[in-house]
């Protein structure tokens, strides 16, 4: 019966005249997952449709969205990380919540456990494969050599593949009571797949090659991100939410090491212009690739999310938005040529110690530790991204499952 109706829907235009009614019917057939119908709607109409019923979030990325991977697998994040919201270190490089936490909250889903965290994790409504220091392109360097994570994007996709295969397997054999920490196999296609990765490819490139070489490697970096999306699609993933990369040239940690910049090196917000130009070129190529992916993956809804503009907008209007100067770092010690990272301790030869402590009120700062944003900044950014005003197509996260025409 359902199949017949579907067939009619495709061949007979009159059935689609009342669009919302047709979508509602489709919703019943596909238990809320409308994109699988391969119907598409105009972006403006999407907001009138019921919100997507996302059952889970699977996230891929770097420290901007790591909720505990590096902390569990390699070294624990120290106090004062987590002080504002979790009141203890919570695997995040932030005083509180990250963008991905605000997305989860908005969708009514719990915060994501890191896939690599074997203690106290619950994966029923998703898993987080992001890890601090991850790149899109595997660099084959140890974390001690390069600061880069061994869990590059390709490894994160392998981890997802295992996660899906093993939970599906376990779900079949385990008793009902064992299932409450596992996702249901049928929820995988109905999840939101989020990406926020690329910043470390750019940062590592800036440290190791010249700008021309970095730009020459860009198409390969973008192509490897596209391959990750394609692999997930072949596994049944349908809704993708892809953040572009932020204004890396505005990170206060970079600016700390620049003494007496030549004229024109910094823009009028104090950011390294050439570095931001590279981030913008990454974003231009990513956006073009996303447009191609939509054509290649006819049943996918892929949203390109302009986090660059949100972050840059905040940095360039910090005072008007109620924050201190964007270059100020809340956590860590940076004076007289001495740098102690957030939570770090530096013993001096005369026996005193310098602590990388936090500022009194992190809610006034944009930068938490020189690289990562504070919870207050993340909330400000999330408020602009989640409603779709900086996305292509311009639809809110709650409606990201609809493929627009
Ligand atoms: C890392 O190793 C893989 C597998 O051998 C290789 O395909 C890749 O090109 C290497 N990456 C770099 C940046 O050398
Ligand atoms: C130790 O050295 C630091 C830096 O030179 C100085 O600020 C501090 O007062 C010294 N402490 C003692 C106990 O001498
Ligand atoms: C999204 O939220 C931001 C910040 O609250 C607001 O300025 C903007 O107008 C909103 N856009 C839409 C399309 O709702």
Residue to mutate, 138, 221, 227, ligand 1, most ligand atoms under 8 Å from C-beta: 138
372 is catalytic: yes
**Residue 44's pLDDT band (boundaries 50, 70, 90)?**
confident
223 is catalytic: no
Looking at residue 38, what is its pLDDT?
43
- The CATH number of the domain holding residue 213 is 3.40.50.1110
In a domain, 216, yes or no: yes
**Residue pLDDT, tens place only, 137-187:** 999 899 999 999 999 999 999 999 999 999 998 888 876 666 778 899 999
**Number of residues assigned to the chain:** 405
Whether the model clears a pTM of 0.85, i.e. scores above it, the answer is yes
- Residue of minimum CA distance from atom 13 in ligand 2: 352
Average pLDDT of span 329-340: 95
Give the domain extent around 185: 52-323+375-399
Looking at residue 2, what is its pLDDT?
32
Q: Which of 243, 312, 372, 399 is catalytic?
A: 372
Q: Residues with Cβ < 8 Å from 146, sequence gap 6 or more?
A: 139, 204
Cα distance between residue 292 and residue 45, in whole Å? 23
354 C-alpha to ligand 2 centroid (Å) = 10
In a domain, 314, yes or no: yes
Q: How many domains does the chain have?
A: 1
In a domain, 319, yes or no: yes
314 C-alpha to ligand 3 centroid (Å) = 14
Q: Is the model's pLDDT at 376 over the cut of 60? A: yes
In a domain, 87, yes or no: yes
Q: Do β-strands 191-196 and 56-61 pair in parallel, antiparallel, or remain unpaired? A: parallel
DSSP 340: E
**Residue pLDDT, tens place only, 54-75:** 999 999 999 999 999 999 999 9
Dihedral pair phi/psi, residue 164, rounded to 5°: -70, -45
Question: Quick check: bond before 393 cis, omega within 30?
Answer: yes
In a domain, 339, yes or no: no
Give the helix/strand (H/E) hosting 335: strand 333-335
51 C-alpha to ligand 1 centroid (Å) = 41
Answer whether 45's CB lies under 8 Å from 115's CB: no
- Residue of minimum CA distance from atom 1 in ligand 1: 140
CA of 150: how far to CAs of 48, 130, 244, 249, in Å? 43, 11, 22, 25
Residue to mutate, 333, 346, 350, ligand 2, most ligand atoms under 8 Å from C-beta: 350
Cα distance between residue 70 and residue 131, in whole Å? 6
Listed residue (313, 249, 244, 246) closest to 285, CA to CA: 244
Report H helices in 81-135. Answer: 99-106
Average of per-residue pLDDT values in the chain:
90
- Residue of minimum CA distance from atom 11 in ligand 1: 139
Tell me which residues have their CB closer than 6 angstroms to ligand 3.
383-384, 387, 389
In a domain, 364, yes or no: no
338 C-alpha to ligand 2 centroid (Å) = 13
Structure tokens at 3: 């199949």
Identify the residue with better confidence: 182 or 405.
182
Question: Quick check: bond before 374 cis, omega within 30?
Answer: no
Looking at residue 20, what is its pLDDT?
38
In a domain, 26, yes or no: no
List the single range of 178-182, 194-198, 362-366 with lowest mean pLDDT. Answer: 178-182
Cα distance between residue 316 and residue 211, in whole Å? 25
Cα distance between residue 98 and residue 375, in whole Å? 6
In a domain, 32, yes or no: no
Looking at residue 177, what is its pLDDT?
60
Average pLDDT of span 1-28: 33
Listed residue (123, 152, 141, 124) closest to 228, CA to CA: 152
């Amino acid at each position: 019966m359902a199949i017949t109706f579907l067939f009619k829907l495709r061949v007979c235009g009159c059935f689609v005249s009342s669009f919302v009614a047709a979508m509602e019917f489709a919703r019943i057939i596909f238990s809320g997952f409308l994109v699988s119908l391969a119907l598409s709607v105009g972006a403006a109409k999407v907001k009138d449709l019921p919100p997507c019923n996302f059952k889970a979030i699977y996230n891929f990325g770097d420290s901007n969205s790591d909720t505990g991977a590096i902390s569990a697998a390699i070294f624990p994040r120290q106090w004062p990380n987590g002080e504002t919201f979790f009141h203890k270190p919570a695997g995040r490089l932030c005083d509180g919540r990250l963008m991905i936490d605000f997305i989860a909250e908005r969708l009514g889903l719990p915060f994501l456990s890191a896939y690599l965290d074997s203690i106290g994790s619950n994966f029923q409504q998703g898993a987080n494969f992001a890890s601090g220091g991850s790149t899109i392109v595997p660099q084959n360097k140890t974390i001690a050599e390069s600061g880069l994570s061994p869990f590059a994007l390709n490894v994160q996709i392998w981890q997802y593949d295992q996660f899906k295969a093993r939970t599906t397997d376990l779900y079949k054999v385990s008793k009902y009571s064992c299932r409450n920490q596992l996702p249901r196999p049928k929820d995988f296609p109905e999840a939101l797949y989020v990406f926020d990765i690329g910043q470390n490819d750019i940062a590592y490139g800036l440290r190791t090659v010249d700008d021309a070489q970095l730009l020459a490697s860009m198409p390969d970096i973008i192509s490897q991100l596209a391959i990750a999306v394609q692999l997930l699609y072949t596994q049944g993933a349908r809704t993708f939410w892809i953040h572009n990369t932020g204004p890396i040239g505005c990170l206060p940690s970079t600016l700390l090491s620049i003494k007496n910049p030549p004229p024109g090196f910094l823009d009028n917000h104090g950011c390294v212009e050439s570095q931001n130009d590279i981030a913008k070129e990454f974003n231009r190529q990513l956006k073009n690739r996303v447009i191609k992916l939509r054509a290649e993956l006819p049943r996918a809804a892929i949203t390109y999310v302009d986090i660059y503009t949100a972050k840059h907008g905040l940095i360039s209007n910090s005072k008007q938005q109620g924050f201190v100067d964007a270059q100020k770092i809340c956590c860590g010690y940076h004076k007289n040529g001495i740098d102690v990272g957030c939570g770090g301790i530096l013993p001096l030869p005369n026996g005193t110690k310098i602590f990388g402590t936090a500022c009194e009120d992190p809610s006034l700062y944009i930068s938490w530790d020189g690289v990562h944003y504070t919870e207050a900044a993340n909330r400000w950014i999330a408020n602009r991204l989640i409603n779709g005003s900086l996305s292509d197509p311009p639809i809110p996260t709650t409606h990201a499952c609809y493929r627009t025409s």
